[in-house]
Amino acid sequence: MKTYKWIKSSILFGPLGIMLGLMSILSCDRSPLDTQDTDLEHLAAVEPMTAQALSSNIRKKVMHLNICGNVCWVATHPESGGVDSRGSTSRMTKVLAAIDSYTPHIITFNEICYSQYRAIRSSLIARGYGATYASTTTAGGCDNYDASWGTGFGNAIFFKGTSPASSTYFVLPNATGAEPRHLLYTDVPLDGKTIRVCTTHLSIDAAWRLKQIEYIVDKTSAWIAQGKPVIVTGDFNALPTAPEMGLMYSHSAGTGQFQECDESHNCATPLTFCRGGEYTFNETKKLDYIFFSAVHFGGMEGDAKSRFPNPISDHNTLQGSALWQ
């Protein structure tokens, strides 16, 4: 029987200061794919927020960005702020400006340093967001934040109008010695419904990427069968038309249970929607996705905001929204 490790932590903010909650790890028998590296901190932080009900006719807005926090800002755009591995210079300001412009309910990041996550978290808490994070590995370009988290590098989810929640990740199948890949998720209540929000960053190796998507589909299918709305975001490192991506799409020869937010761009005539979308990487490829479970959501809208001339990363910021079905 497949079981998994839950990673839980909560941080409570009060008028008397900050109190770090006890972190607990509950484990049981699990498959090899659900194990984690024991030499790294893979703990998630969840902020308490006030519950907020949204009208069912209000779009559920999601923003996703592979922030390339380890190298891209210094290596690719030194003219735009220099080293910001702790997120204290202009890049985090641009991230916040993008968030303020779109006002999403959910924000997800790939390739974010723990130090960058900590830097932006306080600003987003002030904007009404909770937060969760898990390292997948360490990265030499990340600021060595502290003795516990160090140069952690991984994924983050921010969520607006939620109560304190637990955060969990699965370790995805991958080649021995390759960079670990995770599926991070947390439950976010909107309109009195609980949405399971996930983010991931998949391998560049097609064979292992197929195994990773199969694993994600296995997990998400079970959740959808239980009646839970699911959103999956991330850098899949694959084009929409790649064979393995057909496991996600519910249309266009796909066998999956999801629609992607930006499926009305770059479609061949006379199609009005397809496995397409605007470019999200180097203005040449769509690699980043926001998937909504098709049985729960409809009316998809998506937009890849160009990284030029004011870039945040080598990836574009992807914005997507949907309505309840």
Assign 191 a pLDDT band (cuts: 50, 70, 90).
confident
**Whole-number Cα distances in Å, 135 to 83, 90, 107, 110:** 21, 23, 17, 10
- Note the pLDDT tens digit of each residue in 41-85: 333 333 333 334 455 678 999 999 998 888 775 445 554 444 455
Distance, in Å, from the CA atom of 12 to the CA atom of 19, rounded to the nearest integer, reads 6
Question: According to DSSP H, which parts of 103-195 are helical?
Answer: 114-126
- Note the pLDDT tens digit of each residue in 193-207: 899 999 999 999 999
For the ranges 118-122, 214-218, 310-314, the lowest mean pLDDT is seen at: 310-314
3-class SS at 293? strand
Q: What are residue 112's phi and psi, to 5 degrees?
A: -110, 130
Question: Kind and range of the H or E element at 206?
Answer: helix 206-225
Nearest to 231 by CA among 198, 259, 201: 198
Distance, in Å, from the CA atom of 224 to the CA atom of 67, rounded to the nearest integer, reads 29
Which pLDDT does position 34 carry in this prediction?
39
Assign 162 a pLDDT band (cuts: 50, 70, 90).
low
Task: Kindly state the tokens that stand for 227.
Answer: 């009646």
Assign 116 a pLDDT band (cuts: 50, 70, 90).
confident
What percentage of the chain has pLDDT greater than the value 90?
Answer: 54
Q: Which domains does the chain have, with CATH numbers?
A: 38-324 (3.60.10.10)
Assign 108 a pLDDT band (cuts: 50, 70, 90).
very high
- Note the pLDDT tens digit of each residue in 263-297: 999 899 999 889 999 999 988 899 999 999 999 99
Which pLDDT does position 283 carry in this prediction?
84
Which pLDDT does position 103 carry in this prediction?
96
The model's pTM is 0.82
Which pLDDT does position 166 carry in this prediction?
66
Distance, in Å, from the CA atom of 50 to the CA atom of 159, rounded to the nearest integer, reads 11
Which pLDDT does position 146 carry in this prediction?
74
Which of residues 18 and 316 earns the better pLDDT score? 316
Please, are residues 233 and 184 in contact by the beta-carbon 8 Å criterion? no
Which pLDDT does position 58 carry in this prediction?
87
